[in-house]
Every structure is written in structure tokens, then in C-alpha cells.
Chain A
Amino acid sequence: MFSTALSAGIDGMESRKVTVEADVSDGLPTFTMVGYLASETREASERVRSALRNSGLLLGVRHITVNLAPASLHKQGSSFDLAIAVALLIASDHLSKEAADGILFIGELGLSGRLNPVRGVLEIVSHAASFGCSMVIVPRQNLSEGSVISGTQVFGAENLVQVVGFLASRTGNLRLLKELDLRLMGDLNPGTLYQETIDLSEIRMIQKEQQKHDFSEIRGQKLLRRAAEVAVSGFHNLLMIGPPGAGKTLTAHCLSTIMPEMTDEEILEVSKIHSIAGTLPAEGLVTVRPYRNPHHTITKAALCGGGMPPVPGEVSLAHRGILFLDEFPEFDRSVIDTLRQPLEERVIRIARVSGNFTFPAGFMLVASMNPCPCGYFPDRSRCSCKASEVRRYLSKISMPLLDRIDLCVEARRIEYEELTSCPPEESSASIRRRVTKAIAIQERRYRGTPFRFNSDLTSDGVKEFCKLSNEEESFMGGIYDSMSLTARSYFRILKVARTIADLAGEQRILPEHLAEAVSFRAVDRKYWEDALEN
């Protein structure tokens, strides 16, 4: 007999409906799976067969064929197991045809019949309605993320028996319900499944408390703290230069705590990516801005996303949050250079023979580096690096990428007295209030334009939104000549000055804002050449 059940898989960032067709007939006892399957998907035959038997559901000696349609879509992953099991139960007359109507099945089966969690549940559930399903059954561990989407009923199950019990009672199949092993029902009443309601504000609170660091821990570094605030307020990329132990890593870690809280849409957007990558926290949602700090041995595929079909890389996992590259010059230059496109477009496009995949990549880049191999340059009483060594170290940095970093600040070594005697610094929460205000100003200003933050401004945008009056114009003129700026660095200074003015709540950019922006101005090749000349 022939039957179908619905499931879905992830292709890049999107979910695709997959119809599982099962045919059970008399003949040689084989289990054939077709439909352009990856090996882990093909292995479902063994998992499903054992799971059914160990759940007390016997198929008998039959010829079984399972097809996953559409056959043109390459299917991978183990999320189709549950749908295959249900389709087989219908085909072998354990369940009636109507039992699986309008239900989407997602989950991997263990040999015992246990349901294991899978990736991408959030994305799949959000599209369940468009697949013609009003109900989704997912593994219990995926229930929280599944329950986020309103309008679709989502049920969680721990094992196959619970699912079968639910389907049997749905169609009034009491005979099957009686045959089931009640011990496997757990704390459920036979015929029901787990359901959950999500309290977003509670998750926000739990995750906020889990954040380990706060800005008040960064002692003494007044300049660094200010640069961090400015960078976050305009979503500018930031470079920190300083000796080891100056607190660069701590600052990067804390940056996400002063960024404005994520809106509900942002939470959903970010959680979907993490759901697909399998990095969702237990609460089922990501409510604090992501902070990703990949090690410098990272490969291109891990940074940008890769595999076949591609899965999101670090740039996508850092979407709406921070991507921190510690020891910037140590990263492989060819790997780092791949960041150029996502930094411009805020998405990353991965082209494969089978098609193009686009992942979101709207991250803020924070990089840190030592000024020289030993870390103490230009303090010559401690730095023992030769000029040629410093040059070699710096030549490892990708200059095109450096061009995309608007702010640069020194992180200096903190003396012991400062650590102990310094009064407690301002907390993340109070900085965040200022940042949120500055970002709200930008949102108002850029409504109806392609820009979102000051850092997005193109040179035309700078001319339109960062107008200078005569006084400021002449101030910048003096700086332009005496510091031999380039056109590119000039525009970046204006963008940062715009953010500083927004922080101060000023309509116009004033000389003091320009002065501060100049102090944080980005570095280029010439900067180090000059330092070495001295």
C-alpha cells in the first residue's frame, strides 16, 4: 500500500517542503530509499526499521520503498526520520491515512525509538503554514524554538510511541492505542503531546543574567571605553591596538552588552540562523546580541559558511552582533580578505554549482592587535623588535580590510594601582541608554534611505548627511593638510563625527566632534611607516 507524510529540510537559509512517500508491498524483504539523498539521510532506513521494532510496531516481512520528493532537491540531514516512520506505519495499515493529514513531522530517530533534536526547526516551523500544515511535531528538545512562531500548533515528543499514540487517538484508533507500550509515554497522558508557551521577556531576563561581563569591569581605560561607545553607536568597525593584557578581549566581549537590545524581529532573525547552525541555547531563542570570536586558524569555509549545501559560518552567526578577531595579523590574509564583501553588503553570497546561497552577515567587526611582535612598540625600553620585524608583522594585515575599519584606539597597559584604586566605572546598562538614543536618531534620519547606521554612509551619503559649516570646514582643512589625510580617511572621520554628534544629541557636527573623531581616526600603512621613522 502507498502512503505519504510531510516533512521539511533546510537548503542554505531556507526550508523546503519534502514529501515522504512510502510503498509497502509483498516481495523480497528489502528497504530501498530513493530521492537524491546524502548518506546520513539514506541511513534512515536502518534507524527507522530498528526504531519501529523497538517501539513494538512490527512491519512484517515486506518489500519497502521510500521516496523523498522532490527528487531534484539534494536532501541531507536526519530530520526526515520521523516522517518516514509515520509514512511506513500508514502504508502498513497501523495508522489510517487521515492520521497524518496537515501535520509536518521533523525529527531524527534513535534505534530505541527515541526522538533526537535536529537543526533548523525554527525556520521550518515558520514556513509550515505555507506548506499546508497547521501542526508540527518536533523532538522535545526543539520544542522551545518551535513554539516561538504563533499561528502554528507545535507539539514536542520524546519518542516514536508518543507520536503514534497522538496520531492514533486523533483518528480514534483505540485498538492501536491499547497495544502501545505505556511505559514509553513518560509523564504524558496517552494520546497527547508536549506543548509549550514562550515568554520572550523571561528568556531575555535569563540570558541577560547569564552574560558574564559588564562594562564596569573595564577599569581605567577611559579612551578605550569611549571609543567602544562611539563604535557601537554608529555600528562602526573598531580596531584596538595595545600590548598584551590591556583588556582588549574583555572590551570586545562587553561590546554586545552596550549595544541596544534586539527587537523581536531581530531575535527571530538571529535565532533562525543559530537554529540552522545548531548553536541555539537551551531557551530556544537568542535574545542577547551574538559575540563570536573565532580562533585565528579559522578557514574560509568556517568564517563565511561552507559545505554542500552551505551552512552559515561565523560571519552569519555574528549577525546583529560582534565578530571579534583577536590577534588580527595572525589570521590568514586570504581568509580575512573574504570579509570585504560581507562588510560592504551585510550579507554573504556563496556560489555553488547547485545554486547561490545568501546568508545574512550584518556584523560589527572588532579586531585587536599588538603594535609589534612583542607588543610593546613604541615603548623602546621594553620593545626589543627590530624595525624590519615590526614591518613584517604589520605587512600581514590586509590593507583593504583595514580600509573598512572606521575607528582605531589604543588599549594601554593598566598599572596595578589603577586596577585597585580606580572608582567603579559606568555600567553597561547606563552606556546602553545613550547608545540606544543615538541609534534611534539615526533610524529617524535614515528612514527612506538605503542606510541604516552612520557607518553605512557612502561618500554621497556623507556629503548629504555630514554637512559641515564654514568654521568646521576650515578646522578640517587644517587637519587634512597637517596630518596628510587621504580622501578616504577624511570621509571616515566625518562618519564617526556624525555618530559622536548623535551621541551628544547635536543636529550639527561641531569642531569638538571632529576633534574626537580625528583622535580615533583609522590607521593605514602610512601610520606605521611614520611610527617607524621616529
Chain B
Amino acid sequence: MIAADSISQEPYWQWLCSCPLLTHNEIRLLAEYFGSPRKLYEASSSDLQVFQKRDAKWVASLSSYMDSCSLEKCSGLLRERQLKFCSRYSPEFPDRLRRLPDCPFGLFYRGSLPDPDQPAVAIIGARRCSNYGAKMAAYLGSQFARRHVQVISGMAGGIDGMSQKACVEEGGHSFAVLGCGADICYPAENTRLYRRLPEKGGILSEYGPATPPLPENFPIRNRLISGLSDAVVVVEARKRSGSLITVDLALDQGKDVFAVPGRFGDELSFGCNHLIEQGAGILISIDGLLDEIEARDRYIKPAGTIHTADAVIRRREKRLRSELQEESAGKEKTIFPGLSDKEKCIYSKLDYDSKSFDQLLQETGLSMMELMEGLIALEVRHYAEEVSRNRYIRAQTSVQ
């Protein structure tokens, strides 16, 4: 059994977890055999002989790490890389992760760790996403930021990055869990996001400094993304998507899973729609999702009052009623003020999926000149957006 004694073990955990060749299970094996990382640190290489039968090469490189890397050198390296460390026995270690059966022995991070008292939601999805997916991810990211919900994701291209970018821009707290060392920006295209995340959130990894982004690391880190969150939102996923691994892990961990619904037949929404078919929550409003989290008693208000499920349901009904009233009262007035009939007609044909000019020409029945003028008027007022030459999407998101 591992001695979870105290804070005195912390530097030794840091030293052990920094070792670049050890997997999670191997750390466990060593720590259990020696009783504590400190004992391993103090052991001589002859003590490692028991593992000789297991893998001679592994033993050789481990003992060379033990010889070459001292505690001071290890902490120096982390300082140089601007990384902080926190072992699972440290009080700062996220409680949410501690419950995991394969909880990492330590976390390396830049910035800060997620606040255990604030709700956290994971937003995950396809890297190669559609315009619709990108819009939804950004929308969710900024909405969560406004509601002080922490956004957890993997900083990948596509949905992950979009949601975190939007969250950071809105001044929210967002945390990226990486499959490489937290001192490495992967993928490189998100460098800006990587630099900004630690300002108000953090970059986390269970892998030691300078660990390269190995493909096998990513499914393993997914358990931390779901583990750190109260709920997981899937924005877009193909039939066989990596995001679905995270969903499975989240369900194993007992987390709520929500899917952003897509259209029938959309390849990129197949995964989401399939999740819904299997009983995942349908994400149609942010507050609905937050209520759901509250209802499961995970979300404790700073005041310490736990909302009961009844209260939540009552509140939700009230809100729905008021929304309906607002909608019927001011629909004509509030939506599209100042748009001409032609512009409204064009707007109604626009979609989150890009449409070509010729397609719009056919659908609206306008002349080429009218359509060009209309589209530009919409673009100037940020109702439409040209995503690539002569392909247009609806820009203003109406899911308020």
C-alpha cells in the first residue's frame, strides 16, 4: 500500500511523476513496491533488480534517471519550464479527480487548477468541424464564461479550441488538459490560446515536462477532461469519433452527458444524434444544462444551500413561461430591426452550413444584383458572414 503520509512526500512525487519513461501503472507499481516515492528515491539501483526479469532495458533507464536527476534538478527543471506540480495527496489536488479509479498521481500545470466550488463543464467535439459546430462551440464557451462556469477541454483544433477561445475572450475560466507535457503547445496552431489560458484558467497534464504528444496519450487524458467536469457537452462528433471515448469515460464516472443536436443526415452530427438516441441530454439551453447539474446536487452555491430537484423544476417552468411570453410579445419588433423584406428573405434562407451564391440565388428568386446588395447589407450589419469566397452563413446566433 502506498503511504499517503503527508506534504513531506510532495517533492518526491514530483520527482517520480517527472520521470519521462514511466506510465501511470508503472508509477503505481514502483510506489506500491517501495511504499513511498521517497523510499524509491533513496533506494540504490541494486534494489531495482527485482524488476530485472520484467524488463531489463526499463530498469536500466530508470536507474540512470535515478542517478542523474536529483530532487533539486527536478524542481529546477519545472521552474525553468514554468510548471507547477501537485500530487494527488496534496490538498490542492482537484477533488473531482480524486474520485477516479485511475486518478493520476500528480498533475503538472501552468496557471491554476479548476476551482472546486464553481461548476465545470467539458466541451468536446470534432477537430474538423462544420461552421455550425464552430459557432455552437464559441457560443457555449462564451455563455459558460458569462455564467462563471469553468470550461474544460483538450485545446485541440476545431470544437475544443473554439469553445476555449470564446471562453477566454469573454473573460471566463477555462482549463485545457493536454496529452503531452503542459510545457508543450499542441497543436501549434493554438499558440495564442495556449498563452492566454493560464491568465484566468490553466493548462494541465499528468505527463511530465517535455513529454511529446504521443497518440496513445490522448484517449488516456480524456478521462481527466470528463473527470474534472460536472457535465460533458458534445458539440459535433462523427460516427467514430474520439469524443465518444470521452463520453464513455464520463458515463463510467457518472457524469451527465449532453449532446448538441444536429440535423438528420449530417455526417458531423451523427455522433451527437446517436448519443441523444441512447439517452443523452439534449442541449437546447444553457440554463437547462446548469439546472440539471444543480439537480444532481453537485453544484453547491457559494452560500452552501443545496437546491433540491423540486425547486429547480419550479424555477425552470417559470423561466420557460416568461420566455414564451416575451417571444410572442416582441417577436416582430425585436428580431431583425431595420431589415428590408428582401434582406429578411435572404436571411431566412441562410444557414449555419455555408450556402453558395448560386444556391441562394435559386432559393430566394431574387436577381443577382438584388442578392449581392442584400448580402452585403446583411454582412455589414453582421447578420451574414462570408466564410469563403461567395459562400455565406448566418452570423447572428438566435439561440439566446
Contact = CB atoms under 8 A, between A and B. Distances in A.
Interface string B95-115: 000000000000000000000
Contacts of B379: 482-483
Contact of B358 (A220, A371, A388): A220
A518 interface: yes
B387 interface: yes
B387 A223 contact: no
A531 B356 contact: no
B188 to A, nearest CB: 8
Contacts of B211: none
A445 interface: no
B373 A479 contact: no
Interface in A391-422: 391, 408-410, 412
A479 B386 CA distance: 13
Most chain A Cβ neighbours within 10 Å, of B188, B189, B385, B389: B389
A519 B388 contact: no
B388 A531 contact: yes
Interface string A477-489: 0110011000000
Nearest to B357: A223
A387 B135 CA distance: 17
Contacts of B210: none
Given A378-B387, A381-B268, A387 B375 contact: no
B358 A534 contact: no
A186 to B, nearest CB: 60
Interface stretch (A344-352, A448-456, A509-517): A509-517
Contact of A386 (B135, B157, B375, B390): B157
A416 to B, nearest CB: 15
B130 A388 contact: no
A479 B380 contact: yes
B184 to A, nearest CB: 16
B134 to A, nearest CB: 5
A220 to B, nearest CB: 7
A379 interface: yes
A223 B388 CA distance: 14
Given A380-B129, A384-B128, A518-B376, A512 B369 contact: yes
A514 to B, nearest CB: 8
Contacts of B387: 378, 531, 534
A383 B128 contact: yes
B217 interface: no
Contact of B373 (A226, A380, A511): A511
B172 to A, nearest CB: 19
Given A482-B380, A516-B372, A519-B372, A388 B187 contact: yes
B358 A519 contact: no
A367 to B, nearest CB: 13
Given A222-B368, A223-B357, A381-B267, A241 B389 contact: yes
B63 interface: no
A34 B376 CA distance: 71
Nearest to A408: B389
What does DSSP make chain A's interface, helix, strand, loop or mixed? Answer: mixed
B361 interface: yes
A491 to B, nearest CB: 18
Nearest to B382: A482
A385 B388 CA distance: 15
A359 interface: no
Nearest to A513: B369
A371 B376 contact: no
Nearest to B377: A515
Contacts of B369: 512, 515-516
B373 A412 contact: no
Contact of A512 (B373, B375, B382): B373
Contacts of B189: 387-388, 391
A523 interface: yes
Contacts of A478: 380
Given A222-B358, A371-B388, A412-B358, A387 B382 contact: no
A519 B266 contact: no
A402 to B, nearest CB: 12
B376 A380 contact: no
Contacts of A408: 389
Contacts of A220: 358
A377 interface: yes
Contacts of B376: 479, 515, 518-519
B368 to A, nearest CB: 6
Contacts of A381: 130, 266-268
A226 B361 CA distance: 13
B246 to A, nearest CB: 20
A410 B373 contact: no
B131 interface: yes
A378 B391 contact: yes
Nearest to A223: B357
A377 B267 contact: no
A221 interface: yes
Nearest to A227: B390
B20 to A, nearest CB: 26
Contact of A223 (B127, B157, B358, B385): B358
27 contacts: A221-B358, A222-B357, A223-B358, A241-B388, A378-B131, A378-B388, A378-B391, A380-B130, A380-B268, A383-B128, A387-B157, A387-B189, A410-B388, A410-B389, A412-B356, A412-B358, A478-B380, A482-B382, A512-B372, A515-B372, A515-B376, A516-B369, A519-B372, A519-B375, A519-B376, A519-B390, A523-B389
Interface of B: 127-131, 133-135, 157, 187-189, 266-268, 354, 356-359, 361, 368-369, 372-373, 375-376, 379-382, 385, 387-391
Shortest beta-carbon contacts, A-B, top 9: A410-B390, A515-B373, A412-B356, A482-B380, A380-B130, A410-B389, A381-B267, A223-B357, A519-B372
